[in-house]
Amino acid sequence: MEFRVHPAKRGLRGEIQVPGDKSISHRALMLGALAEGITEIDNFLAGEDCLNTARILRQLGVKIRQTGQTRLIVHGRGLHGLTEAGDVLDVGNSGTSLRLLLGILSGQPFYSILTGDESIRRRPMGRVVEPLQRMGARIAGRNGGKLAPLTVLGSPAGLQPITFSSPAASAQVKSAVLLAGLYALGETTVKEPAKSRDHTERMLQAFGADVKMEGLSASCRGGPRLAGQKLAIPGDISSAAFFIVGATIVEGSDLVIRGVGLNQTRTGLLDALKIMGADISILNIHDQTGEPVGDLRVRTANLHATEISGELIPRLIDEIPILAVAALFARGATVIRDAAELRVKESDRIETLHQELSRLGGEVEVLPDGLIIHGGRTLAGAGCDSHGDHRIAMAAAIAGLKCQGQTTVRDVGCIGTSFPEFGSLLADLAGGLEYL
């Protein structure tokens, strides 16, 4: 499938909602499965990544019922109630499913095999496998256990707690170790070089686990009884990001996005855009199952360049593709550094952004750990490729709203992993979008 995008016919105006947060939806399913009793999940993201987590949990004996388009009921099995699957567990494109489930499966007494699509089988798994092995997990995989498919032999005697200093600010690594820590006797601690998203810690607390968060470290005590919860998943700021930037760069926009998750570990894009001159206000902040949620009002603004680096990077890591699009329309050269993690996402986003933004006529330089984007040039529509990466596809489509002529984005089926409604929402708001 491909998109044909034409220059926006009008400003992005009105009120929208974006689907539930992907990271939080995965965690709600997993903790619901490990809890005792029923977990009700509202505003669940029914994108392919989270549906893959649900399918795998069903393979492990968990009953999950869909009672509405975005409403699920998980019948928890308790910490020790999962059962051996009859087949390989396939996460598709989802790194969060693979890494977090690896943590959970490390503590089970049975055998599992985890695999995924071509992109997943290229992504580094050693960063999760190594600390889990230190806890006593028995994991093997391609390239000495660094690449999927990965087999987990099971640990009938449980795991040992560790204190792990993670070299990367990665929530997937932190979460895998903390989830394995549920199966260890004592306290497991993860220290990070910069704070990554803390949804696992917050949700473990909501389910009744003994979790401590202190600065850059998070600890979890093994063997808790987790109790089923009623959860309402906040809208995904990583999906809202495309419309935040769209409304900022398309003239005549005034858009309200309701019910967006505003956890501090995820709001780096708002901070960066504000520094660049964006007009964003936050309204109606409230707490929703342990997560801050609010409405965003975004109006068109003229942007100027800035430098994005250091501790800001983990707080906007998934938003860099769309931030790079904002930088294309900002005055001056925007420098993005300390973001080498981009190279091991769904695609090598430093390379894929360089390729696709250059095709549109952008002037982009590649750094080993980032990009320099020279903004303010007039861009002409062109043929872009998603590289199978949902966020590259959506970023290119938003850029197309401000290019002269037609922009084609090929292979946009991947958008279904995180934001299946993206195309129809964009067509309703801006017009000028065709699907082929």
Catalytic hit among 318, 338, 348, 369: 318
**Binder to ligand S3P among 57, 171, 245, 360 (CB under 6 A)?**
171
- Sign of the CA dihedral running 398, 403, 406, 410: negative
CA-based angle 431:70:201, to the nearest 5? 110
- Are 209 and 237 a contacting pair, CB within 8 Å? no
**Least Cβ distance, residue 401 to ligand S3P (angstroms):** 24
Please tell me whether residue 104 binds ligand S3P under the rule CB under 6 A: no
User: What is the C-alpha to C-alpha distance for residues 205 and 224, in angstroms, rounded to an integer?
Assistant: 10
- Binding mask 130-169 toward ligand S3P (x if CB under 6 A, else -) reads ----------------------------------------
Please tell me whether residue 317 binds ligand S3P under the rule CB under 6 A: yes
- Spell out a b/e string for 403-418, using b for 16 or more CB atoms within 10 Å of the CB, else e: beebbbbebbebbbbb
Nearer to ligand S3P, 96 or 334 (CB): 96
| Cα-based distances in Å from 346 to 215, 268, 308, 313 | 29, 20, 21, 17
- Are 145 and 106 a contacting pair, CB within 8 Å? no
Nearer to ligand S3P, 50 or 303 (CB): 50
Residues paired with 159 in a beta bridge: 184
Nearer to ligand S3P, 114 or 382 (CB): 114
Residues 327-386 that bind ligand S3P (CB under 6 A): 341
Instruction: Compute how many residues bind ligand S3P; rule: CB under 6 A.
Output: 11
Please report how many Cα atoms fall inside a 13 Å half-sphere around the Cα of residue 424, on the Cβ side: 7
Nearer to ligand S3P, 171 or 206 (CB): 171
Choices 11-19, 54-62, 170-178, 239-247; region in contact with ligand S3P by CB under 6 A: 170-178
Active site residue 318: yes
**Least Cβ distance, residue 337 to ligand S3P (angstroms):** 17
User: What is the C-alpha to C-alpha distance for residues 436 and 427, in angstroms, rounded to an integer?
Assistant: 13
- Binding mask 380-409 toward ligand S3P (x if CB under 6 A, else -) reads ------------------------------
Please tell me whether residue 172 binds ligand S3P under the rule CB under 6 A: yes
Residues 282-311 that bind ligand S3P (CB under 6 A): none
Question: Could you tell me which residues come within 8 angstroms of residue 316 by beta carbon, excluding any fewer than 6 positions away?
Answer: 268, 269, 271, 272, 308, 323
Nearer to ligand S3P, 170 or 229 (CB): 170
Please tell me whether residue 96 binds ligand S3P under the rule CB under 6 A: yes
Nearer to ligand S3P, 177 or 249 (CB): 177
- Which residue do the tokens 């099971």 mark? 154
Nearer to ligand S3P, 5 or 72 (CB): 72
**Least Cβ distance, residue 284 to ligand S3P (angstroms):** 25
**Binder to ligand S3P among 318, 319, 385, 389 (CB under 6 A)?**
318
Please tell me whether residue 117 binds ligand S3P under the rule CB under 6 A: no
**Binder to ligand S3P among 52, 93, 175, 265 (CB under 6 A)?**
175
Tell me the catalytic residues: 318
Q: For binding to ligand S3P (CB under 6 A), which residues are involved?
A: 23, 96, 170-172, 175, 196-197, 317-318, 341
